[in-house]
Chains A and B, each alone.
Chain A
Amino acid sequence: MTPPPIEFLLYGGALALVALGLAGLVMARHLFRSILALGILEAGANLLLVLAGYRAGGVAPILTPGTLGQPMVDPVPQALVLTAIVIGVGVQALALALALRVHQAYGTLDVAEVRGRMEADTDAAAGLEPETSRDLPAVERPS
């Protein structure tokens, strides 16, 4: 059995991270873990982007006396990933701040419980009964 080619490994790894991240995001019962899963999802996308610029036999795109004249890898995706990483951490920090507050208010970060508490809160603010009392159908039976 020949080992799989390296690009298969790399692409497979990146996509596995994406799939794992999404699966984790969906399966997590704890919002904190959802945030972690989000990080993995982003990491997978970043890896894919870096792969997009990789050039076999290239050197890092930094001009030093040693690298002059050699083929370099594509610098653009690297710049993009740089941006994406920072964006990712910004979003993560904001998410954590929100999670902190939600936990403070509701005492839980369970996905379903937070959903339920939020709904109940919103309903209460609107002055609605907590449980769905059926609205009257708009069109009544004629007498």
Chain B
Amino acid sequence: MNAVVLAVALPLLGAFLTPSLARLSLPLGRLFGPGLLAFCLWLLWGIARALGDATAGVALGGFAPPLGIAFHLDRLALLFALAVPAMVLALWPWGGRPREWSLTLVLAAAATGLALSGDLFNLYVFYELLAVASYGLIAANQRPAAQAAALRYLLLSAAGSALALLGIALVYTQTGTLNLAQLALLAPVSLDGPLGLAAFALLLLGIGVKAEAFPVNTWVPEVYATAPSRLAGLLAGLVSKLAVLVIVRLLLVVFQRPEATQLMLVLGVLGIAWGELAAWRARDLSRQLAWSSVGQLGIVFVAFSLPGETGVLAGLAVALHHLLVKPALFLLARHWNGALEGLRGAARRAPLAGALFALFALSLVGVPPLPGFWAKFVTLSGLFAQPGPLCSLAAVVILTATLVEAAYLFRTLTLLFGPGGEEPRMAPHGALDLGTATAFAGLLLAGVIWLQPLTGDLHGIARQAVDMDTYVDTDLPTPRP
């Protein structure tokens, strides 16, 4: 079980060594990172299989948990930890330079750490690591616009991190510990007042930058429109979900209070409204997808703000669905990057890409047999089950936003499949991009077929995730009150 640290350490090792190895031999450097990631995938898979329904705490360096850093392994953490190497492998920048591989490996390590860590400050470190790696990657393509976008993103994100640090400082001042399990024990007493809520608000806004939360998502269209599409897919699909995962962990473990969820709900609703509205008037595909991603993340926030098991189930469903769909859409959009009007008839010349795009778009909108529908349905049903007008309002906003989303996505689709004017000079989709997207589509369809066991698993994960007694017992074998 302790070997799980390898999933974080090995990619970092790879990152440190890749530039030098690539100087020795380029093929070696090229294959080193993916090889390590594949090993991590295998390792994590083995651990997940061995762990089964149980949970485990890993005390790093053998220091008993409240003193040292602890990793918390449960099905939720392992699910996302497994998703990291898998997604990074799928979206690996094969064409990049050694330093890009290196940064991608750092990204993978940080993301895995975020999924596993059970320590507040450790989460902050991994979060920063993720952020720094992504700044470098965004700016890597040497386009001035990308660099400007990266700089603006960096300033916003760093300000957010500083606020998050402030939140951590508040928590530490009040409780004197950073271990999440111990915080869970202390929170009902120490973090009860406005101070705890303030700390959560600061953490939410700080980490929310990566999670594309409402007021701090202005970077999204800028970055996704200028970054390489594989990276955009990685950021929109994976990284944002891990940031959400951190917020959800904090919410579930430490800040389990109605006001906290309400704050999340409000930000989520605003995010949905802003994102989908902006996407309505987007003029090119990548920014349309970027804004749509803001809206979708808003739904994720709203879903996770539902209390208890329902919330985790709904949020997981929406998040995993988006995790699968958005990167694939970005991959497909890569070659359709011009103005929307210029895409007339593009899908007729690339029927497979067009069909995949249609499939993903349909699922994103939530057309029944596809997984997107079930995710949305669970969310809506959960919202309606809550008392209070705010939740019902959120449901209505989701429904309306879905309508708007369908409108612009299908305006795009009708353009893609419509009669083309002149032959546009667009490169055909690369086999790699198409293959990856097809694999994602296969997963999506598999989700339709194995819906029943899938929902059963998600239920199990959700049940485990909200079970705080187990969480505390796992990480703190001898709880000290």
Contact = CB atoms under 8 A, between A and B. Distances in A.
A and B touch in the complex (CB under 8 A): yes
B283 interface: yes
A99 interface: yes
B222 A122 contact: yes
Nearest to A115: B152
B144 A126 contact: no
A84 B128 CA distance: 10
B178 A90 contact: no
B283 A135 contact: yes
Contacts of B226: 118, 122, 125
Contacts of A6: none
Interface string A94-126: 110011011001100000001101100111011
Contacts of B48: none
Nearest to A126: B284
Given A51-B173, A127-B339, A94 B154 contact: yes
Interface in B291-338: 337-338
A52 B162 contact: no
Contacts of A56: none
B112 interface: no
Contacts of A106: 144, 148
A25 B150 CA distance: 16
Interface in B214-235: 222, 225-226
Interface string B115-137: 00000010001001001100110
Interface string B379-418: 0000000000000000000000000000110010000000
A1 to B, nearest CB: 28
A18 B166 contact: yes
Contacts of B132: 87, 90-91, 94
Interface string B160-182: 00110110111011001010000
Contacts of A51: 169, 173
Contacts of B283: 123, 126, 128, 132, 135
B408 to A, nearest CB: 8
Interface string A20-31: 011001000001
B257 interface: no
A127 to B, nearest CB: 4
A84 B129 CA distance: 12
Given A98-B139, A115-B152, A122-B145, A74 B176 contact: yes
Contact of A25 (B159, B170, B172, B337): B159
Given A101-B147, A127-B339, 7 more contacts: A22-B159, A94-B154, A95-B154, A102-B144, A114-B148, A114-B151, A117-B145
7 contacts: A91-B158, A118-B152, A125-B143, A125-B145, A126-B338, A126-B339, A135-B281
Q: Nearest 7 A-B pairs (CB), nearest first?
A: A105-B144, A121-B145, A52-B173, A98-B151, A118-B148, A126-B284, A45-B165
Interface of A: 18, 21-22, 25, 31, 34-35, 38, 41-42, 44-46, 48-49, 51-53, 74, 76-77, 80, 83-84, 87, 90-91, 94-95, 98-99, 101-102, 105-106, 114-115, 117-118, 121-123, 125-128, 132, 135, 138
